[in-house]
Chains A and B, each alone.
Chain A
Amino acid sequence: MTVIESKEVAGAAPLLETSGLSRHFKVGGSIFSHQLLHAVDDVNLTINEREIVALVGESGSGKSTMARLLAQVYKPTTGEIRFQGKNLSELRGRKQQLKYRSDVPMVFQDPFASLNPVYKVSHGILRGMKLHRPDLNSAEARHEELLRVVAAVGLNPPEEIVERYPYELSGGQRQRIGFAQALAYRPKLILADEPVSMLDVSIRIGLLNVMAKLRDEEGVSFLYITHDIASARYVSDRLMVMYGGHVVEEGPTEAVLADPKHPYTQLLLSAVPDPRAPLEVTSEAAKAEPPAVIDPKPGCRFRARCPLAVDVCAHVTPILQPLTPTHRAACHVTAPAP
Chain B
Amino acid sequence: MKFASLVKNRKALVGLILFALTVLLAAFPGLFTSVHNPGEIGTYGPNLGPSTGHLLGTTSYGQDIYSQLVYGARQVLEIALLAGAFATVLAVLIGITAAYMGGIVDEALSLVTNVVLILPTFPLMIILAKYAGQSNEVMIIVLVATGWSYGANQMRAQALSLRNRDFLEAARVRGERRSYIILFEMLPTMTSLIVANFLGSALYSVLAASGLQFIGLGNTDQQSWGTMLYNAHSMEALQAGNALWIIAPGLAIALLSAAFALMNYAFDEIGNPALRPVRRKDLRRSRKAERLAAQAADPHAEKGARDADPDVYADAS
Touch between A and B in complex, CB under 8 Å? Answer: yes
- Quick check: A101 and B315 within 8 Å, CB to CB? no
Q: Which of A98, A124, A167 is the one whose CB lies under 8 Å from B313? A: A167
Q: What are the residues of chain A within 8 A of B175 when measuring CB–CB?
A: 97-98, 101-102, 131-132
- Quick check: B173 and A101 within 8 Å, CB to CB? yes
State A118–B313 Cα separation when bound (angstroms). 10
Q: What are the residues of chain A within 8 A of B171 when measuring CB–CB?
A: 116, 124, 127
State A101–B172 Cα separation when bound (angstroms). 10
Q: What are the residues of chain B within 8 A of A109 when measuring CB–CB?
A: 166
- Quick check: A124 and B189 within 8 Å, CB to CB? no
Q: What are the residues of chain A within 8 A of B188 when measuring CB–CB?
A: 116, 118-119
- Quick check: A73 and B169 within 8 Å, CB to CB? yes
> Is A83 engaged at the interface, CB distance under 8 Å to the other chain?
no
State A181–B173 Cα separation when bound (angstroms). 12
Given contacts A114-B167, A116-B188, contact A73 B308 (CB under 8 A): no
Main secondary structure of the interface of B (DSSP, over half): helix
State A118–B189 Cα separation when bound (angstroms). 6
Given contacts A116-B167, A166-B314, A168-B308, contact A101 B174 (CB under 8 A): yes
With both beta carbons as reference points, the residue of chain B lying nearest to A168 in the complex is identified as B308
Given contacts A116-B189, A167-B314, A168-B308, contact A108 B172 (CB under 8 A): no
Q: Which of A98, A102, A110, A127 is the one whose CB lies under 8 Å from B166? A: A110
> Is A299 engaged at the interface, CB distance under 8 Å to the other chain?
no
Q: Which of A98, A108, A112 is the one whose CB lies under 8 Å from B170? A: A108
Q: Mark B279-317, 1 if CB is under 8 A from A, else 0.
A: 000000000000000000000000000001010111100
> Is B176 engaged at the interface, CB distance under 8 Å to the other chain?
yes
Total residues of chain B contacting the partner, CB 8 A: 21
State A298–B175 Cα separation when bound (angstroms). 38
Interface size class of A (residues with CB under 8 A): 20 to 34
Q: What are the residues of chain B within 8 A of A97 when measuring CB–CB?
A: 175
- Quick check: A71 and B166 within 8 Å, CB to CB? no
Q: How far is the CB of B56 from chain A (nearest CB, A)?
A: 46
Q: What are the residues of chain A within 8 A of B169 when measuring CB–CB?
A: 73, 108
> Is A52 engaged at the interface, CB distance under 8 Å to the other chain?
no
Q: What are the residues of chain A within 8 A of B167 when measuring CB–CB?
A: 113-117, 124
Q: What are the residues of chain B within 8 A of A102 when measuring CB–CB?
A: 175
State A127–B184 Cα separation when bound (angstroms). 11
Among A109, A116, A132, A181, find the residue whose CB has the most chain B CB atoms closer than 10 A. A116
Task: Pick 24 A–B contacts, CB within 8 A, sort by A.
Answer: A73-B173, A101-B173, A102-B175, A105-B174, A106-B170, A108-B169, A109-B166, A110-B166, A112-B315, A113-B166, A113-B167, A113-B315, A114-B170, A116-B167, A116-B188, A116-B189, A117-B167, A118-B188, A119-B188, A124-B174, A131-B175, A132-B174, A168-B310, A181-B174
